[in-house]
DNA sequence: AGGAAGCGGTAACTACAGTCACCACCTAGA
DNA sequence: TCTAGGTGGTGACTGTAGTTACCGCTTCCT
């Protein structure tokens, strides 16, 4: 599969071979919960195809943190495992998703043998940090209409569809608000000519 | 200085020697701005003594992200420099602060020669990620009175003083709110018996 | 055909926090 | 001594978003 090599080609071929030898490739169905808050992690997933949604929860209120797209890794699971900390977040698959699972136990060895992998991991860390920071900015500085619109644009990109097929309830959950609020704000940005709601879904203009 | 070794003792002595040889130790006065949003970074600071405050800003509104305390490093500057990205955040010294500045250019070499440093860096990344996540939780799930109280407790710990000497204006700035709101909420938690405001400062009970 | 479950829309209300205007107080400097 | 600038306190108002309580519509199952 070419997408696989897109990611691994950045690495030493010897390492690539080892990675593939010691890892397992798994495909999860859309909507599968692959990581629960408080769970201990023993693998580092790398998304080959599909999308993983990472979010946090507090007393029924959820908040979408970021998506992990193909060729990206959920490095936080690695760092959490370093200190044997439980996961702080949840993760589910947005669509049918194929991931390469690297066993955490093998990683320190690879890090010593193939220093390249460190740079890759650091870059992944940086990506996650940046995205968390973006989330803070959205949550703290932006009003609901801006957040909703940006969310829809992002969602459209990630899922690669323009009339987006999604319920208000689902949107509300990911933005950490109530369905009625989404209804209200959606009408607002609709009258502003930014989106249209049709039976096929929500279309961004 | 023993605090210096507290941090470096985790490392290979040969690496320690190299680190100290190629780095510079600098002391900043309280309130010095050491990193500006949009600035490009060429050093990775490790705090030896004192505290660095990291925060973000958007159109006059600030938001405290976290503190970097002794023996911690601002690894984000490293990852930012990896991709030659500008800094996304601001950093100032909370008190007179001594830092060890590692030149970014030397780090890839050290990473190859002394793999230990990678683990250390990963742990630092994990710390930052976790703290950003905490910040999100505070901002998104908690009301002002909870945020204010938690802020004061944290501030007291970090600055190691109990009647905390700080103005409402300063608190408002770090919590990203208005002075009047701090005044109001401070009165509230004062009547709840959680804190007392005296001329010496704010005391946590 | 009937009913349950899910969907989106809406009005009325509440609560929280940001804003405005103004207050009294202290103290550092001219 | 007087004043300017900083401090904290307060009441009245506003705006945003969360809550409650409905509505009608569609879809799907029996």
pLDDT digits (tens, 9 = 90+) for B61-75: 999 999 999 989 988
C-alpha A176/C-alpha A169 separation (Å) is 10
CB contact under 8 A, A141 and B58: yes
Out of A20-34, A36-50, A179-193, B14-28, the most confident range is A179-193
| A163-177, B38-52, B68-82, B151-165: segment of lowest average pLDDT | B68-82
Q: List the single best residue of B62, B110, B122, B124 to mutate versus A (max A Cβ within 10 A).
A: B122
Q: pLDDT confidence of A1, banded at 50, 70, 90?
A: very low
Domain spanning A2-140: CATH 3.20.20.450: no
| A6/chain B closest Cα distance in angstroms | 19
Average pLDDT over residues B168-174: 95
Looking at chain B, list the stretches that DSSP marks H as alpha helix, in order from N- to C-terminal side. 2-8, 13-22, 75-82, 107-113, 116-141, 144-159, 168-175, 179-191
d(CA B118, nearest CA chain A) in Å: 7
Q: Which residue do the tokens 């644009």 mark? A: A153
pLDDT for the residue A7:
61
Mark yes or no for CB contact B133/A135 under 8 Å: no
Mean pLDDT of chain A: 88
Interface with chain A: mutation pick from B60, B62, B79, highest number of A CBs within 10 Å: B79
> CB pairs under 8 A, 24+ apart, for B170-173?
B173/B62
Partner-chain contact A82 B126, CB within 8 Å: yes
Q: List bases, strand D, within 7 Å of protein CB.
A: 6-12, 16-21
Residue B7 has a pLDDT of 61
Residues facing residue A27 across a β-bridge: A98
Cα-based angle A63, A69, A71 (whole degrees, multiple of 5):
145
A60 touches chain B (CB under 8 A): no
Instruction: List chain B residues with CB under 8 Å of A128.
Output: 129
Model confidence at A134, pLDDT cuts 50, 70, 90, reads very high
What span, in angstroms and rounded, lies between the C-alpha atoms of B63 and B54?
9
Residue B105 has pLDDT above 60, yes or no: yes
CATH topology of domain A143-204: Arc Repressor Mutant, subunit A (1.10.10)
pLDDT band at B9 (very low <50, low <70, confident <90, very high): low
Residues of chain B with CATH 2.60.120.10: 2-140
B176 to chain A: which residues are within 8 Å by CB? Answer: 140
Q: What digits encode the pLDDT tens for the residues A195-205?
A: 999 988 999 99
Interface of B with A in 5-24 (CB under 8 A): none
Residues A65 and A69: their CA atoms lie apart, in Å, by 13
Q: Would you call A63 and B89 a contact, using CB atoms and an 8 Å cutoff? A: no
| pLDDT confidence of residue B10 | 67
More confident residue, A123 or A27: A27
Tokens of B12: 């290979």
Confidence of residue A114 (pLDDT cuts 50, 70, 90): confident
Both tokens of B96, joined, read: 């007179």
Tell whether the model's pLDDT for residue A52 goes beyond 90.
yes
What is the tens place of the pLDDT at every residue in B123-137?
A: 888 889 999 999 999
Minimal Cβ distance to B136: which of A76, A119, A132: A132
Report, as an integer, the average pLDDT of B24-30.
92
Distance from the Cα of residue B60 to its chain's centroid = 20
pLDDT score of B139: 95
Average pLDDT rounded to a whole number, residues B30-48: 88
Q: Where in chain A is the domain with CATH 1.10.10.10?
A: 143-204
Q: Has residue B178 got a pLDDT over 80?
A: yes
Task: Give the residue among A165, A40, A150, A23 at the shortest CA–CA distance from A94.
Answer: A165
Residue with tokens 């950045």: A10
Comparing B143 with B37, the larger pLDDT belongs to B143
The domain B142-204 having CATH identifier 3.40.50.300: the answer here is: no
């Amino acid at each position: 599969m070419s997408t696989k090599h897109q990611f691994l080609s950045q690495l030493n071929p010897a390492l690539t071979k080892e990675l593939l030898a010691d890892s397992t490739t798994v495909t999860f169905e859309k909507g599968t919960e692959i990581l629960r808050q408080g769970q201990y992690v023993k693998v580092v997933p790398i998304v080959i195809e599909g999308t993983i949604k990472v979010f946090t929860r507090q007393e029924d209120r959820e908040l979408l943190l970021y998506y992990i797209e193909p060729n990206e890794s959920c490095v936080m699971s690695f760092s959490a495992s370093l200190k044997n900390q439980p996961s702080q977040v949840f993760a589910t698959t947005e669509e049918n998703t194929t991931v390469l699972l690297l066993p955490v136990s093998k990683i320190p060895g690879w890090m010593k043998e193939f220093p390249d992998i460190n740079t890759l991991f650091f870059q992944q860390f940086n990506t996650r940090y940046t995205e968390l920071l973006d989330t803070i900015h959205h949550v703290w500085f932006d009003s609901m209409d801006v957040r909703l619109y940006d969310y829809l644009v992002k969602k459209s990109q990630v899922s690669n569809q323009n009339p987006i097929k999604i319920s208000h309830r689902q949107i509300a959950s990911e933005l950490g608000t109530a369905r009625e609020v989404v209804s209200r704000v959606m009408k607002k940005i609709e009258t502003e000519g930014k989106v249209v709601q049709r039976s096929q879904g929500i279309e961004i203009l």
